[in-house]
């Protein structure tokens, strides 16, 4: 007899759809002489598929927050779940492992290795991620094609424009298929036209389902995001879903937020 089996569903996202959950996060920098309390109790949650712009004055704690979100640094207090995994208390090695698996990072100054080609730069995280040579190369070529640089794979950073360098950096950030893409002022060093290209690329990634958190002074960027949070003096003082919001990303996985 041919039993009709119930259809298997794809693995369910966490019931609340949150990829990021921060509670009472604090960060104190101890420089020896003085202590700077850069974050003073951040509660912050992000659903899968959101595009969050983080804004606020210089020195308010935006980069500090992004570095903690991206597991580049550890908080002085509070709890942080990334993809449901507690990461606040991890040591450096375990933190690096989580970072490599779950996070893609894009910096204002691109942070490409100057002696390597575009292709080799994009391959870098996969090398650390233990991905074999052939597969690394295949994914790196595909990634560079995706950001519109299929014809620049053998160029070194000095042979690329700023906008192109940032697109290489985005391809590198996506190489390990991260859960979240974090960017700190990704258009800060670019002219208007290259900045617009990078913004369009980020928006396209978002439309394809990526979760983005972008620190920015760029009002065009903040307008495109579906959510803007404002940091002042180490605290979240505003959190708005904007009118341009896509139907909440969370609803695409059947969860409310």
Residue 60, SS3? coil
- 187 phi/psi in degrees, rounded to 5: -110, 5
What's the token pair of residue 45?
């949650």
Kindly state the smallest distance separating residue 30's Cβ from ligand ATP, in Å.
8
Q: Which of the choices ligand ATP, Mg ion, none does residue 167 contact, using the CB cut-off of 5 to 8 A by kind?
A: none
38 binds ligand ATP (CB under 6 A): yes
Which of 29, 138, 145, 150 forms a contact with ligand ATP (CB under 6 A)? 29
Shorter beta-carbon distance to ligand ATP: residue 36 or 237: 36
Give the residues across from 104 on adjacent strands.
Answer: 181
64 binds ligand ATP (CB under 6 A): yes
89 binds ligand ATP (CB under 6 A): no
What lies within 8 Å, CB to CB, of 181 at 6+ separation is 103, 104, 106, 170, 173, 174, 202, 205, 210, 211, 212, 213
Closest C-alpha to 163, from 183, 142, 137, 189: 189
Kindly state the smallest distance separating residue 71's Cβ from ligand ATP, in Å.
16
61 binds ligand ATP (CB under 6 A): yes
Kindly state the smallest distance separating residue 58's Cβ from Mg ion, in Å.
7
108 binds Mg ion (CB under 5 A): no
Please work out the total of residues on this chain that contact ligand ATP, with binding judged by CB under 6 A. 12
- 196 phi/psi in degrees, rounded to 5: -65, -40
158 binds ligand ATP (CB under 6 A): no
- 126 phi/psi in degrees, rounded to 5: -75, -30
187 binds ligand ATP (CB under 6 A): no
60 binds ligand ATP (CB under 6 A): yes
Of 58-77, which residues contact Mg ion (CB under 5 A)? 63
Q: Return d(Cα 124, Cα 119) in angstroms, integer.
A: 9
Q: Which of the choices Mg ion, ligand ATP, none does residue 31 contact, using the CB cut-off of 5 to 8 A by kind?
A: ligand ATP
Residue 72, SS3? coil
Which of 15, 31, 158, 243 forms a contact with ligand ATP (CB under 6 A)? 31
Kindly state the smallest distance separating residue 185's Cβ from Mg ion, in Å.
7
Kindly state the smallest distance separating residue 195's Cβ from Mg ion, in Å.
17
Please work out the total of residues on this chain that contact Mg ion, with binding judged by CB under 5 A. 1
C-alpha distances out from residue 164 to 53, 158, 193, 245, Å = 22, 10, 12, 28
Kindly state the smallest distance separating residue 62's Cβ from ligand ATP, in Å.
4
Please classify residue 34 by burial: count the beta carbons closer than 10 Å to its beta carbon, then call 0-12 exposed, 13-18 middle and 19+ buried: exposed
Give the residues across from 105 on adjacent strands.
Answer: 182
Kindly state the smallest distance separating residue 4's Cβ from Mg ion, in Å.
56
- Interacting residues with Mg ion (CB under 5 A): 63
């Amino acid at each position: 007899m041919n039993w009709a089996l119930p259809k298997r569903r794809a693995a369910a996202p966490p019931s609340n759809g949150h990829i990021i959950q921060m509670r009472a996060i604090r960060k104190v920098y101890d420089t020896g002489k003085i202590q700077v309390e850069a974050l003073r109790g951040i509660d912050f949650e992000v659903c899968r598929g959101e595009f969050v712009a983080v804004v606020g004055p210089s020195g308010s704690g935006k980069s500090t927050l992004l570095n903690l979100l991206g597991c580049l640094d550890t908080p002085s207090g509070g709890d942080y779940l990334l993809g449901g995994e507690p990461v606040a208390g991890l040591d450096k090695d375990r933190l690096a492992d989580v970072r490599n698996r779950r996070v893609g990072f894009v910096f204002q100054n691109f942070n490409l290795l100057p002696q390597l080609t575009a292709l080799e730069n994009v391959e870098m995280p996969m090398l650390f991620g233990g991905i074999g040579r052939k597969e690394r190369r295949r994914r790196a070529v595909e990634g560079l094609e995706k950001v519109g640089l299929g014809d620049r794979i053998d160029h070194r950073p000095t042979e690329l424009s700023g906008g192109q360098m940032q697109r290489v950096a985005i391809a590198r950030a996506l190489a390990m298929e991260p859960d979240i893409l974090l960017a700190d002022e990704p258009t800060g060093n670019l002219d208007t036209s290259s900045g617009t290209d990078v913004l369009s690329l980020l928006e396209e990634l978002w439309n394809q389902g990526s979760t983005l958190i972008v620190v920015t002074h760029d009002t065009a960027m903040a307008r495109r995001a579906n959510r803007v949070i404002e940091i002042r003096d180490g605290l979240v003082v505003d959190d708005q879903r904007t009118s341009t919001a896509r139907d909440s990303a969370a609803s695409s996985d059947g969860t409310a937020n």
